[in-house]
Structure 1
Amino acid sequence: MLHWSEIDTVLLDMDGTLLDLHFDNYFWQYYLPKRWAQTSGISEESAQQQLAQEYTRLAGKIEWYCLDYWCQRLQLPITDLKREIMDKIAMRSDAAVFLQALKQSGRKVVLLTNAHPDSLALKVEQTPLASYIDTRISTHQFGVTKESVVLWQKVQHHLGFNPSRTLFVDDSLPILQTARDFGIKHLLAIANPDSQKASSVITDFPAITDYNTIIADILKPQSS
């Protein structure tokens, strides 16, 4: 599926790719609307509908991922609310062995997430991610999301990676397409980002539901 002998750098999404997306789906679709309804006086159903419409409008934009934006928009302490249910933050069951194999193989491993720095910090606090990752990047430091080729240009300049020898793994097909448009040669989609939902059928990119199926290939000795 992947030509690991041609891969030196691995760029990894966080939510849905290394962490179970269930936490984020639950928070944005159910918990936040519930708490907003409690403080705003509208019904929980109305809160869900209004937020769903706003999520759609902001999809792919930095505001959608920005906790500061939502704090101001809803007049709620978003990070504090996330902490109320942070017991739901968990790594994918197959992520640790995958990350360990990458580390053992000597490849450079970079976390590249659209998550706000406060959300990234909370998840690093709650999981062992930091012990596996060489570099952690929130796209907020560049002011543009992975859905934009501009972000890829900025990250490539920042890290100095070779796009033709780089693998990018994500659960978002639009983001994977943008990475392809930029020139990332090796791409991998995650078909089951949320453990509580069924896997998707993905045909546009190589896709997996279990990292264990590629561990042996990652650890094959590299020919000189």
Structure 2
Amino acid sequence: MPNYSDKPVIIFDMDGTLLDLDYDDFIWNHLLPIRYAQTHDCSLEHSKQILAEFYQEHNHTLNWYSTRFWTAKVGVDVLAMQIEHKHRVAQRAGCIELLSYLKANDYPVWLATNADTAGLAFKLEETGIGEYFDVMVSSETLGHAKEFQPFWQKLQQMHAFDPKHCYFIDDTEKVLNGAAAFGIQNLYSIAQPSSANSPRSACNFPMLDALTDLIAILESSHVEHPAAESAIPEISIAVQDEELKKYA
């Protein structure tokens, strides 16, 4: 069993961090407007306008990430639509290489995603990345989006970890701001969440050009602070949520 006393917890976001955000952009910004226009017999232009208003209203709320909410809101089975195109779900370059390195070197690796449990389930099945995580948590299970403090408070209650001895990688700046407010000190963003878009030019957090850049960061930190790492009390890792076990 890994010795968690001398390894920081590594927490990853999923969409735009480990997985290519191009899939989600396709679903929400291209396909859903078409399906909404077909369902409600309106023009594509009107469909895009209506959906843009909905998106603006619910952005960064728990509803924003809920397939059940959007299905009821827009009259389109959003989960079925996503699964229909699940073949487009793709890992970002270096995803498995990084996760394999962390597992081989006994790092506790967690997945903390705003995707609802249904969306998380089919993406884990499609990509096979679930086997690399000690803990997997959906914001739907915790009842709060990652942007807000109750998410992190509940996560820490369920799965004890030291925010000062932890790395969190996410492509959304507002989420990283929430993690910073909670006290997580080692925060990294993603330079190119979607392969279809150009890399970002600026961010308030250091950005990983490639996921595997994290390996050098961790190895450098281990060399510079070996005594500090060994002094961290052992972290108790609870079993992952019963609701998500069947999807791992």
Q: TM-score, normalised by structure 1?
A: 0.93
Aligned residue type for 1:154 = K
Q: Is the 8 A contact 1:36 1:76 kept in 2?
A: yes
The aligned counterpart of 2:25 is 25
Asked whether the 8 Å contact 1:112–1:138 carries over to 2, the reply is: yes
Is contact 1:91–1:127 with CA below 8 Å preserved after alignment?
A: yes
Shift of 1:115: 0.3
Give the residue type in structure 1 aligned to 2:183.
Answer: G
Q: How far apart, in 1, do the equivalents of 2:39 and 2:137 lie?
A: 34
Within-5 A mapping of 1:160-171: 160-171=160-171
Q: Compute the RMSD of aligned alpha carbons.
A: 1.8
TM alignment of 1:88-167, pairs within 5 A: 88-167=88-167
- Give structure 1 regions of 4+ aligned residues with deviation exceeding 4 angstroms: 219-222
Amino-acid identity (%): 33
Number of aligned residues: 220
Deviation (angstroms), 1:57? 1.4
Give distance in 1, aligned partners of 2:46 and 2:215. 46
- Mind listing any 5+ residue stretches in structure 2 that lack a counterpart? 231-248
Q: Is the 8 A contact 1:67 1:116 kept in 2?
A: yes
Matches within 5 A, 1:170-209: 170-209=170-209
Distance between the aligned counterparts of 2:31 and 2:184, measured in 1?
36
What is the distance in 2 between the residues matched to 1:111 and 1:38?
36
Q: Give me the whole-angstrom Cα distance separating, in 2, the residues matched to 1:67 and 1:146.
A: 17
The offset of 1:219, in angstroms, is 5.2
Report deviation, 1:202. 2.8
Alpha-carbon offset, residue 67 of structure 1 = 0.7
Q: Take 2:97 and 2:219, find their aligned partners in 1: how far apart are those partners?
A: 11
Length-normalised TM-score, structure 2: 0.84
**C-alpha distance 162-203 of structure 1, shift in aligned 2 (>3 A):** same
Q: CA deviation at 1:198?
A: 0.4
Unmatched tracts of structure 1, length 5 or more: none
- 1:211 shift after superposition: 2.0
Counterpart residue identity of residue 186, structure 1: N
Partner of 2:56: 56
The 8 Å contact of residues 7 and 106 in structure 2, kept in 1 or not, is answered as no
Checking the alignment, whether the CA contact within 8 Å between 1:29 and 1:52 is kept in structure 2 is no
**How far has the Cα of 1:172 moved from its partner?**
0.2
Q: CA deviation at 1:6?
A: 8.0
Q: Is the 8 A contact 2:93 2:211 kept in 1?
A: no
Pairwise CA distance, 1:7: 5.4
| 1:132-183 per-position Cα deviation (integer Å, ceiling 9, x unaligned) | 1111110101111011111111111111100110111000001101100110
Task: Give, in angstroms, the shift of residue 60 of structure 1.
Answer: 0.8
